[in-house]
Structure 1
Amino acid sequence: MTKIQKSETEWRSMLSPEAYRVLREHGTERAGTSPLNHEKRQGKFACAGCGKHLFDSKTKYESGTGWPSFWSPVSPEAVGESQDNSWFMRRTEVHCADCGGHLGHVFPDGPAPTGQRYCMNGVALRFIPEGTG
């Protein structure tokens, strides 16, 4: 059960159409389209749906996939995971632990120290530069 409950009408009114499609309908943005893929400043990445701090810039790396990638969330409690068997493959979906918004997927081919690649949709995240909030 997610901590933040809103009606679909409320979600639609507060999110852009693309953010709604990704966060609420489990969509995927086109690779290479997010400005966050090239974000190099220090700061945090929060859920675009509810503002929960999910990832830190210290764990962001260039995976070459076209989506913002991280080797770890800020804490295990920040995100939830579930099995995704769509597109004729088995993947692990990652969602915001507070609002349940779909963020992307995690794969076991990331760098040390975790070996994980949290491949996130940029439209599902909001970047907050260090020192601004």
Structure 2
Amino acid sequence: MEPPIKKYQSGVEATLDVIGGKWKSIILYHLVTEKRRFNELRRLTPNISHKMLTQQLRELERDGLILRHDYNEVPPRVEYELSEYGQGLIGVLDFFCYWGEAHVERVYGDKSLALEGPFLSEEEAAQFASGAGLKQV
């Protein structure tokens, strides 16, 4: 018997079902540019526990967003990378990053007060704000 099809109210809900939560988008963001080992992901995400990182990586792998590569070496080596399917989220992750920086700047005035960086250049930020239709309130 097939499991029931999950019903969503919108595409946003479906997207958040796969990448939502505190850690998944951050993990995916760190995998955009290169393969990463478990401990490297742990260092890049200092507030995540070992157990939670393991769980999130397994879920991302199960959903087909990342690939896990086990190397038959001593000591064992495992690397994670975005799958071809997961690479479809790069634009979403970029948008999250751009929107978040614009939001932090709007709220705090100075991005460096709330973000560790790297930041968008002034040109990139202006281009994003005009092209993405961010509303200045």
* TM-score class, shorter: 0.3 to 0.5
Could you say which structure has the higher helix fraction?
2
Could you say which structure has the higher strand fraction?
1
Q: TM-score, length-normalised on structure 1?
A: 0.33
Q: TM-score, length-normalised on structure 2?
A: 0.33
Larger Rg: 2
